[in-house]
Amino acid sequence: MIRNECRHCSVKSKAAKKLKDAETESLSFNCALTSFKKGHVLIKQGMLSTNVVYLRSGLIKLHIEGPYGDQIVRIVKAPGYLGLPTTFGDKINQYSITAIDEVEACFIDITTFRNLLYSNPDFSYEIIIDICRNELEIYNRCVNRSQKQIRGKIADVILEMAGPIYDSDSFTLPISQEEIGNLIDSSRESVSRILAEFEKDKIISVSGKKIEIKKRESLLMISAKG
Amino acid sequence: MIRNECRHCSVKSKAAKKLKDAETESLSFNCALTSFKKGHVLIKQGMLSTNVVYLRSGLIKLHIEGPYGDQIVRIVKAPGYLGLPTTFGDKINQYSITAIDEVEACFIDITTFRNLLYSNPDFSYEIIIDICRNELEIYNRCVNRSQKQIRGKIADVILEMAGPIYDSDSFTLPISQEEIGNLIDSSRESVSRILAEFEKDKIISVSGKKIEIKKRESLLMISAKG
DNA sequence: TAAAAAGTGTGATCCAGATCACAAACTTAC
DNA sequence: GTAAGTTTGTGATCTGGATCACACTTTTTA
């Protein structure tokens, strides 16, 4: 399963540029870049964790088992770090991370990760920026989830898949309709009905899990009007 | 309005201990600790921001104007930093921060704040821990908001007020019923009805905005069963 | 301290979307 | 390739909570 060794795989962009300076030593570590297939659980809610996950490629879902079943909080695309909160708090994972696509990732020991943060301000800075972005994303998602109705939320999911996630108007849904329901707080049946409706209105075409956007403007309108 | 000068007011706990060492210089800055009264807007959605806010004391609400009105994302108690995302992203505030209590805060220039992060790993580390905690909080809030029904959500609000926020079974609600609605995604009328119900069942006693918890176990039960 | 504005209580009505109940299609596994 | 499991489609019914409507109370303002 292991594909190759991934030296400094976590140190990218600005931080990476500084690898030549005095701090190089403390930034060096090896981690095994491993690939996992769809469905693999990288982080399991309720379990003790001693690693941060660096997601090199692929898609994951961050989901929480709530009082009434599983809820997908968000879908995250590589690259990025996962499981940071556990690095600091009580180390029991508060959520699960599951691959919803073929995924490449490596596990970085918490201590190594902490040293990295301490020894490299650029790295810390990047992490902070990253988490802040997440924070904004989740705030907006919260507002959308509660203020829009199903049609608008499904339009959003489709646009997000086409846009940030797959970068194409034609893509294969990486999750089931039930999971879409868990992502937008609605039932499997409603998702099915709305998708059928969109298809009937020639806004999208559906064949199995393949979706193609036919009228992007319509989706944008539906998304905007709540 | 200015109460006093607040040297190093942002550098607390571990980071503060290191003030004597070589990095002291870069950590030194003055900021005016100011007090604001209830309703004062510290950060305004849509406006350009060049400051991070350090909240020294008091309570604020973080709220977002969505497609269908204002939604309170969360209520935050001092101490802590506010408005971090704006420090990095496009500098346009994505949300508003409004005092819902008498509040003491100071504004730290973004550049100063960045230097602080760069020059002090302990400080960066604390900030990361802090943001991670927020992240978890907001994830859980998301799940609760969508999986529980009104009774459960109101029970949660009351318990949160009594617990983390005021540390007493008897407190004065810092927000209106309408705002509680905006916090838990429900209407003003429903909040009113549920509070009346709780009072009738002798779970709480209400007089104006004063609330006293009579049967904490009942609230916990209501919260738990969704 | 009176008038205006903001906040609250409570009934009556309505509706988006959940839930139920099956049938059909698609995926795995042996 | 057939049986078992999983995912989807679609009607019929039900319901939590929104919305409307209006009286009452508390707070703010001038």
For residues A127 and A83, what is the distance between their CA atoms, to the nearest angstrom?
Answer: 12
Residues 6+ apart with CB under 8 A from B22: none
Angle at B28 between CA B27 and CA B33, to 5 degrees: 115
Q: What is the per-residue pLDDT across B99-144, written as a single tens digit (0 to 9) for each? A: 999 999 999 988 888 888 988 888 999 999 999 999 999 999 999 9
The length of chain A is: 226
Is A95 an 8 Å CB contact of chain B? yes
Tell me the CA–C1' distance in angstroms for A37 and D28: 63
Distance from CA of B89 to the nearest CA of A (A): 8
pLDDT of A6 > 70? The answer is no
Tokens for B214? 């009579």
| Residue A117 CB neighbours (<10 A) | 19
Instruction: Using the structure block, give the residue that is written with the tokens 């600091």.
Output: A88
pLDDT band at B196 (very low <50, low <70, confident <90, very high): very high
Predicted ipTM beyond 0.95: no
pLDDT band at B9 (very low <50, low <70, confident <90, very high): low
Q: For residue B90, which of A129, A5, A211 has the smallest C-alpha distance?
A: A129
pLDDT of B14 > 50? The answer is no
For residues A89 and B133, what is the distance between their CA atoms, to the nearest angstrom?
Answer: 8
Query: Cβ contact (<8 Å) for A131 and B131?
Result: yes
For residues B77 and B61, what is the distance between their CA atoms, to the nearest angstrom?
Answer: 9
pLDDT of A28 > 80? The answer is no
pLDDT at residue B201 in the model: 94
**Residue A181 near residue A190 (C-beta atoms within 8 A):** yes
User: Which protein residues, judged by their CB atom, are less than 7 Å from any atom of strand D?
Assistant: A 173, 176-178, 188-189, 192-193, 195-196, 206, 209; B 149-151, 185-187, 189-190, 208-209
Helices (H), chain B: 13-17, 24-27, 84-88, 110-119, 121-147, 150-160, 177-184, 188-200, 216-224
- The reply to whether the CB atom of residue B195 sits less than 7 A from any atom in nucleic acid chain C is yes
pLDDT at residue A163 in the model: 82
| HSE-CB for A169 with a 13 A CA cutoff | 10
Is B196 an 8 Å CB contact of chain A? no
pLDDT at residue A157 in the model: 97
For residues B18 and B6, what is the distance between their CA atoms, to the nearest angstrom?
Answer: 18
Is B141 an 8 Å CB contact of chain A? yes
Task: Domains for chain B: give ranges and CATH numbers.
Answer: 2-130 (2.60.120.10), 148-224 (1.10.10.10)
pLDDT of B17 > 60? The answer is no
For residues A98 and A52, what is the distance between their CA atoms, to the nearest angstrom?
Answer: 14
pLDDT of A125 > 80? The answer is yes
